[in-house]
Amino acid sequence: MIYFAAAPTRDIKEGLFQHRMYALVCDDADPLSGRWQAPRRVFSQFDSFALEATHFMHQGKNWYLWAQKDPHSRQFQSLLGGAAEPLDAERHAGDAQPSRI
């Protein structure tokens, strides 16, 4: 899986580009010869500017870390969600919301 941020247009809204998180997925064992799927949007609890996502495993658990503009604040937040599945930043064990770090 490859994570990236992209914007559907060059429009700037509220002083920001409209970048959102996406992932390219290849379920085949060999990603060099496998079939890659069309980009999928990675959703979080906000529909706002987001980028710099990464996925890693720690102590047997999937984690997804990203930076996103909190629409209720003037600041950017770094968010950490224990994702049950790498494409689902909003679904994570034990919390109603991703942790701000």
pLDDT digits (tens, 9 = 90+) for 13-55: 877 788 888 888 898 999 999 999 999 888 887 888 888 788 8
Whether 88 has a pLDDT exceeding 70, the answer reads no
Please indicate, yes or no, whether the overall pTM of this predicted structure exceeds 0.85.
Answer: no
Residue 82 has pLDDT above 90, yes or no: no
Predicted local distance difference test score (pLDDT) of residue 98: 54
What pLDDT score was predicted for residue 81? Answer: 63
Q: Quick one: pLDDT at residue 80?
A: 62
Q: In what order do the strands lie in the sheet with 2-6?
A: 2-6, 20-24, 40-41
Using alpha carbons, select from 84, 63, 92, 69 the residue that is nearest to residue 3. 63
Between 4 and 55, the more confident residue is 4
Q: Other C-beta atoms within 10 Å of 53: how many? A: 21
Q: Considering only CA atoms, which of 43, 31, 33 is closest in space to residue 1? A: 31
